[in-house]
Chain A
Amino acid sequence: MTIPVEKAKWMYETMAKIRYFEDEMEKAYGEGKSPVFNIGAGPVPGEMHLATGQEPAAVGICAHLTAEDTVTSPHRPHHHAIAKNVDLNKMTAEIFGKATGLSKGKGGHMHLFDPAVKFSCGGIVGAGIPHAVGAALAAQMKNKDWVAVAFIGEGAANQGSFHESLNMAGLWKLPLIIVVENNEYGISVSKKASTAIESNDKRAAAYSNVAGAYVKDNDPEEMYRVSEEAVRRARSGEGPTIIEIETYRYLGHFQGDPELYREQSEVPSLREKDPILKWKNELIEKFSVPVQEIQEMENRARQAVDDAYRFARESEEPVLSSALEDVFI
């Protein structure tokens, strides 16, 4: 099974876009927060969970999805949102709290909703999984071949909602895919210290009709392949799949995390294996994409990100009275 070159290129350009976006967000979030870090200060206040290094999980599966398919995402949502084609300008404006944002500045970075591409996320660990179950159930009831993908961290697999959802989805053979991004930590607690199973794809064995697959070493290609099969299974009514991908969290759990719980030497060795650089080499060597074309893709990605940040920064703040609207529609 080889990856069509168009998909391989899309994955590269999208990963590049995600990386630019997160690097830019790291800077924007830091504005107004030095020399003394203050979580409430600067143009982007509040908690900030970045996904730098975790790009393959998002693009490997979203390469198989359309706007009709649903994605739910947790507190670390930017890579999923970008791979699912969420409006980048409105998403960035939302994170800056602007009136032009996806939610008019009321949601923020952990609460991005773009119904146009069926994307949502939230700040409660494990909460998105049942929503994906519901989307999958709706697809089944409407006789559509839509699938629903719930992205979670490995820590969320210890939440009851994970197990309850899998039982229901297995029972009803729902078109559900759970992508577990194993970045080795749930805040400060290592996977080893929190999880009584080697990898979460193995939990598939506990339920009928659920398949499991594991992707090693943050590999975009393997993620693409495994996802292809999971999406095929889902669309053809064979039931859910759990995919666990070994991925890497380059940054702290949130920006400002003192990270006293991990060796700081851990991160450079992770960055050495950077999946985007690896994928770039693959594009050149395996897919014979000319270097100049890669350059163009990078420029386009960069431009989209720059445009989005400009749009966000130049947008208006919401009017105060808007705080009282949208409780009921």
Chain B
Amino acid sequence: MTTTKQRMLTGNKAMAEAIAIEMERNPDVFVLGEDVGKYGGIFGSTQGLIDRFGEKRVIDTPISETAFIGAAIGAAAEGMRPIVELMFVDFFGVCMDQIYNHMAKIPYMSGGNVKLPMVLMTAVGGGYSDAAQHSQTLYATFAHLPGMKVVAPSTPYDLKGMMASAIRDDNPVVFMFHKSLQGLGWMDPLDAAVGEVPEGEYTVPLGKAKVVREGKDVTIVGLQMTMHYALEAAAKLQEEGIEAEVIDLRSLAPLDRDTIIESVKKTHRLVVVDEDYLSYGMTAEVSASVAESALYELEAPIRRIAIPDVPIPYNRKLEQYVLPGAQRIYDEVIQLMNE
């Protein structure tokens, strides 16, 4: 009898491995950003890369986001394939002009004549009391703006496969990784931050959601932490005889509306959960899409769970109060099933 042993990796190692494989395959791929060299990225996304590829291809930049993200755009226009790291997504304010007026629009404004095959990777998420300027996900802020793919994988397997796809994509891709899912030794150890990751090359397509748990009674849509919370809630709901279907969105743009609508046609109930602000966010987009295409399939009003339009407070209890969690999802589903 042969046993195949699964190889388990943390999220950060899965990402770094994908980058290494792509750097090996293509000399035009390079990394730049703050502390991506010896430090290996504050959230471990570039761990080990400098030892393998040297400081010419793994470049520590000054704290000059406008200049180095702008430089990634310029290099991409020359045919390079930069992976540029914005350390925390919250810092986008310093450099958003480069991101949305240039990275996102140049391909379109040039009538498709200028390609920007680049990846902007950035850490998102809170839950560890890093307060208002270091805890946001800002999923919708990016996904709202046309011209860039915006992805947010939830498992080590997808982190690796989607990073490979992002690097190979000829469009600019904003690659959001969740701090809590990187499997870092100095954060809460989460089972979800470690997972099976095959060695060698593989890709996972961008723009495709995934049904991660099948069920017939209610559809719960989430991504990254909210998807894991949804799975946790679903396990508890099962004890109450409620079968929840859980969808991992994985990509925000393009948004895989078909997978969501298919599911709602089966379950007739929808709960959308987001670790971003409530208004004008992902929960609204998903809800509107379902209302447009499958309103008469719904047997109860849609429920949305997200941060209630306040900046993220520092105090641990206040932060937990505004962030979505498994209990909140469970409670909302129970109420919804009784409607």
- B172 at interface (Cβ–Cβ under 8 A)? no
- A134 at interface (Cβ–Cβ under 8 A)? no
A318 proximity list for chain B (CB < 8 A): 315, 317-318
* Minimum CB–CB distance for B16 against chain A, Å: 16
B107 proximity list for chain A (CB < 8 A): none
Assess A124 versus B94: contact at CB under 8 Å? Given A40-B187, A46-B314, A189-B62.
yes
Q: Which of B32-40, B71-79, B206-214 contacts A (4 or more CB under 8 A)?
A: B32-40
Contact A194 B128 (CB under 8 A): no
Contact B133 A110 (CB under 8 A): yes
* Minimum CB–CB distance for B27 against chain A, Å: 24
Q: Which of B148-156, B234-242, B246-254, B304-312 contacts A (4 or more CB under 8 A)?
A: B304-312
In the complex the two chains form, what is the Cα distance from A124 to B322 in whole Å?
Answer: 23
Contact B187 A39 (CB under 8 A): yes
Instruction: Give chain A's interface residue range (CB within 8 Å of chain B).
Output: 35 or more
Mark out the residues of chain A between 184 and 201 whose CB falls within 8 Å of any chain B CB in the assembled complex: 186-189, 193-195
- Greatest chain B CB density within 10 A among A108, A187, A194, A195 is at A108
Contact A124 B91 (CB under 8 A): yes
Assess A189 versus B185: contact at CB under 8 Å? Given A123-B131, A261-B38.
no
- A205 at interface (Cβ–Cβ under 8 A)? no
Assess A322 versus B62: contact at CB under 8 Å? Given A37-B186, A40-B129, A123-B134.
no
Contact B63 A186 (CB under 8 A): yes
B34 proximity list for chain A (CB < 8 A): 186-187, 189
- B60 at interface (Cβ–Cβ under 8 A)? yes
B90 proximity list for chain A (CB < 8 A): 123-124
Contact A40 B38 (CB under 8 A): no
Overall SS of chain A's interface: loop
- A237 at interface (Cβ–Cβ under 8 A)? no
- A97 at interface (Cβ–Cβ under 8 A)? yes
A47 proximity list for chain B (CB < 8 A): 130, 134
- Contact flags A228-269 to B (C-beta < 8 A → 1, else 0): 000000000000000000000000000010001100000000
Contact B127 A40 (CB under 8 A): yes
B67 proximity list for chain A (CB < 8 A): 160
A60 proximity list for chain B (CB < 8 A): none
Assess A323 versus B313: contact at CB under 8 Å? Given A111-B131, A195-B62.
yes
Contact A260 B38 (CB under 8 A): yes
Contact B133 A45 (CB under 8 A): no
Contact B308 A124 (CB under 8 A): no
Contact A106 B318 (CB under 8 A): yes
Contact A45 B316 (CB under 8 A): yes
Contact A39 B186 (CB under 8 A): yes
A317 proximity list for chain B (CB < 8 A): 315, 317
* Minimum CB–CB distance for A184 against chain B, Å: 14
Assess A189 versus B60: contact at CB under 8 Å? Given A97-B129, A122-B133.
yes
Contact B63 A111 (CB under 8 A): no
Mark out the residues of chain B between 174 and 206 whose CB falls within 8 Å of any chain A CB in the assembled complex: 185-188
In the complex the two chains form, what is the Cα distance from A318 to B37 in whole Å?
Answer: 41
In the complex the two chains form, what is the Cα distance from A97 to B129 in whole Å?
Answer: 9
* Minimum CB–CB distance for B129 against chain A, Å: 4
- B321 at interface (Cβ–Cβ under 8 A)? yes
Contact A40 B133 (CB under 8 A): no
Contact A261 B39 (CB under 8 A): yes
Assess A324 versus B94: contact at CB under 8 Å? Given A111-B131, A186-B63, A193-B60.
no
6 A-B pairs with the lowest CB-CB distances in the bound complex, closest first: A108-B314, A40-B128, A45-B129, A97-B315, A158-B62, A46-B129
Q: A159-B64, A187-B35, A194-B63 are in contact. List 15 more A-B contacts (CB 8 A).
A: A40-B187, A45-B128, A97-B129, A103-B314, A105-B318, A108-B129, A123-B131, A125-B91, A155-B62, A159-B65, A160-B64, A194-B62, A256-B186, A260-B38, A318-B317
- Point out residues on B near A: beta carbons under 8 Å: 34-35, 37-39, 42, 60-67, 90-91, 93-94, 127-134, 185-188, 308-311, 313-319, 321-322
- Point out residues on A near B: beta carbons under 8 Å: 37-40, 45-47, 97-98, 103, 105-108, 110-111, 122-127, 155-156, 158-161, 186-189, 193-195, 256, 260-261, 317-318, 320, 322-324, 327
In the complex, 19 of the A-B residue pairs with CB atoms within 8 angstroms, ordered by the A residue number, are: A39-B128, A40-B127, A46-B128, A97-B314, A97-B318, A106-B313, A107-B314, A108-B129, A108-B131, A111-B133, A123-B133, A126-B63, A159-B63, A160-B66, A187-B34, A188-B35, A189-B34, A260-B39, A318-B317
